[in-house]
Structure 1
Amino acid sequence: MRRGAGSKGALAALGLMLTMATPAQAQIGPIKTFRDWVAGCDNTKSCTALSLPNETDDEIAFLRLDRPAGPEGAPTLALKLRAQKLKKNFTIALALDGAPFPAGGQPLQATSVDGEVAEIAIPAATAEALITAARKATTLTASIEASTLNVSLAGSVAAMLWIDERQGRLNTPGALIRKGTTGSAPAAPPLPVIASRPASGKPPSKAEAAALTKAMRAEINRREPDSCEDMPDGFTDTDGAWALDGTLRLVAVACSRGAYNVSSQFWLVTGRDVAKARPAPLEGATGKAASDLINADFDPKTGQISFYAKARGLGDCGSSGSYGWNGQRFAVLQWSEMSECRLLPGDDWITLFRSAER
């Protein structure tokens, strides 16, 4: 995998943190790598497969396949580009192992959003032909004027076969790869409905919040000496205190920082009694760092904590998600991951858990 200097250790450390914090009750879906493709499914068995750009490329093209679960779930395929100086409107000529694709070489029309990013929805018939051709083809080439971008198909068939298996489509007419003549996919699991409670107590003043976070930092270090470092100027706004109700307060204390990540501990405090503070119950989190989140922020209006843990400074791999306060614990609302560092933007990280709010 392509990583910046020192990011291999950062990714390993982040992986350890995610292993400890990955929720069990929320049934986070699996994510797997198949040579030059990565695939994952969420709790409703809606699945995504992505091609992985070459680890030395700065300008990239990649394919994204999405398919909801259930007998009516239809696959969609898109070609995505990240390159410099894209025109607002342009055409893309595709080729499979050097041969024009689809047959006849009809180019696709494309539009760039900001001169650097473009997404081209591939027509259903062309997508089906590409999926069929992926059994033997090795490379899809996208040509834009004088520029050529390559998309590896190595591992694509295995990724799609795995999705078929996860969705119960193997040997049915609706399978992507191993088709049959009878049967259909089972119904998709229901989308869980999760309620979040906004902070309802009187918000502490700025001075009260500062005093409470200072006291909480001292209490953390009393329980485990030197485990929570002081933050320099510019990082103090990562601390905070909010009244979840009339007596219970959520306190966030930033305890460690790196080049691109700030790790904060979240605690529940009754009144101002930090001596009896307990780690904020994040759904499924266990271990020593059970209340730690990276680059996290609490929104008192929604009662939700969001986080964005980068595995390297570019922010093209890691995990992101959110928790919602339900009066007893913070339940998982959404969870996305990207296990490979290949310049894939956060919007294309694979969703492994999602919910509907009540």
Structure 2
Amino acid sequence: MRRGAGSNGALAALGLMLVLATPAQAQIGPIKTFRDWISGCDNTKSCTALSLPNETDDEIAFLRLDRPAGPEGAPTLALKLRAQKLKPSFTIALALDGAPFPAAGRPLQATSVDGEVAEITIPPAEAEALIAAARKATTLTAQIEAASFKVSLAGSVAAMLWIDERQGRLNTPGALIRKGTTGTAPPAPTLPVIAGKPASGKPLSKAEAAALTKAMRAEVNRREPDTCEDMPDGFTGSDGAWALDDAVRLVAIACSRGAYNVASQFWLVGGRDVARARPAPFQGAGGNPANELINADFDPKTGHVSFYARARGIGDCGRSGAYGWDGKGFAVLRMSEMSECRLIPGDDWITLFRSKNSPAN
């Protein structure tokens, strides 16, 4: 597992693209960094806290705490490893500031499915003890034979306290940090249902799609010259046109490219009339203009547009998500983010929005 090159400048540039006013109905959740920890919550106030590995590490261990909202929302805590040559089954010994954890020093059992990734679910009693110990402890050490992994606890208490506040648990018996003797968390908000629609119009031929994307590119550059650069050979596959219904076409044109990101603009066109085309904005995903997505792909079978905006080449930070065509526009279905470039893989990015029909990809 080798670490790729990156820069704070790349992340800052992506951050500028991601700043966009979000409509009230989207309710995309917040994300916040606390020293070596990061926390975020989605639109149902289901929250996640992650420890952040050292920037110089090639092999990493990190803690992930998840907690749904509501009175019955119980926390789960897992230790995750990303390393080379992990055995299919092994034991792992934990220590807090050098002292065995749990106190009896009992090792935990772990398995790896591919030799590089392992997840160890920490039993509830031990998880509760670890959360309590985080008030004073500074480092959790995981020992696997001769290999040692360190997890910083700096900022963990603040991250969990922030989750308690977001979920309305402060000063209740169910709080992670600031416990009380009475009260309970309020009910979790309802998971939204997005009425998505597949593309239902007659599929366009390759020639029709090519003509429409070419005309749309010319129209964009007529409206705002030099805002959409011509793509070299090999990038034309990023362009596309689809019949959303019998009257409306979705047209995507690639407008800029970097080492690992291709930015595409999406337009809604009535028939072939590109002169009256209107932007298809994707609220909350960023982009300037607002109808721009990074590394995006449209699936006409589902009507979903997915994207994966990487802040640097190895893809350990950025934002990803999906939108669904509802017959009038594109509604957010799913949104995840990792604002710190610290080797956290995409499947562990923090979910900021989800719906009942969120796509699995």
Match of 1:255 in 2: 255
Map of 1:222 onto structure 2:
222
1:288/1:58 CA distance change after superposition, 3 Å: closer
Unaligned runs of 5+ in 1: none
Q: Secondary structure at the match of 1:194?
A: coil
Q: Which residues of 2 match residues 1-358 of structure 1 at below 5 A?
A: 7-20=7-20, 22=22, 24-283=24-283, 288-357=288-357
Looking at structure 1, the residues matched to 283 and 95 of structure 2 have their Cα atoms a distance apart, in angstroms, of 47
TM-superposed CA distance for 1:234, in Å, is 1.9
2: CA distance, partners of 1:94 / 1:133: 13
CA shift, 1:21, in A, is 6.5
| Contact 1:201/1:244 (8 A) holds in 2 | yes
Separation in 2, partners of 1:182, 1:145: 45
1:278-303 deviations in Å (ceiling 9; x for gaps):
11132467885110000000110111
Task: Say how many residue pairs are matched.
Answer: 356
8 Å Cα contact 2:111/2:118 also seen in 1: yes
Residue type of the alignment partner of 1:76: T
Among all aligned residue pairs of Structure 1 and Structure 2, give the percentage whose two residues are the same amino acid.
84
Match of 1:77, SS state, is strand
Q: For each residue in 1:119-149, what CA deviation from the matched residue of structure 2 results, as whole angstroms up to 9, or x when unmatched?
A: 0000000000100100000000000110000
* Matched-pair contact (CA < 8 Å) for 1:17–1:289: no
State the Cα deviation string for residues 161-216 of structure 1 (Å, max 9, x = none). 11001101111110000111111101001001111111000011011101111111
Residue 284 to residue 147, structure 1, CA distance change in 2 (3 Å): closer
CA contact (8 A) 1:212 1:241 kept: yes
Distance 1:109 1:156 in 2: 24
Q: Secondary structure at the match of 2:275?
A: helix
For residue 20 of structure 1, give the secondary structure of its aligned residue in structure 2.
Answer: coil
Report the Cα distance in structure 1 between the residues aligned to 2:122 and 2:296, rounded to whole angstroms: 36
For the residues of structure 1 that align with 2:141 and 2:6, how far apart are their CA atoms?
Answer: 32
Q: TM-score, normalised by structure 2?
A: 0.96
Cα separation, 2, equivalents of 1:236 and 1:21? 31
Aligned counterparts of 1:309 and 1:290: Cα–Cα separation in 2: 14
| In structure 2, C-alpha distance between the alignment counterparts of 1:24 and 1:168, rounded to whole Å | 21
Distance 2:204 2:17 in 1: 31
Q: Tell me how far 1:22 sits from its aligned partner.
A: 4.9
Alpha-carbon shift at residue 23 of structure 1 (Å): 5.1
Shift, 1:328, TM fit = 1.0
* Whole-angstrom CA distance in 2 between matches of 1:17 and 1:192: 26
**Contact kept? 1:316, 1:338, Cα under 8 Å:** yes
CA RMSD of aligned residues (A): 1.5
Classify the secondary structure of the residue corresponding to 1:333. Answer: strand
TM (norm. structure 1) is 0.97
CA gap of 1:286–1:238, structure 2 versus 1, over 3 A, is closer
Contact 2:18–2:284 (CA under 8 A) maintained in structure 1: no
- Structure 1 stretches of 4+ with a deviation exceeding 4 A read 3-6, 21-24, 284-288
Q: Distance in 2 between matches of 1:73 and 1:241?
A: 44
How far off is 1:24 after superposition? 4.6
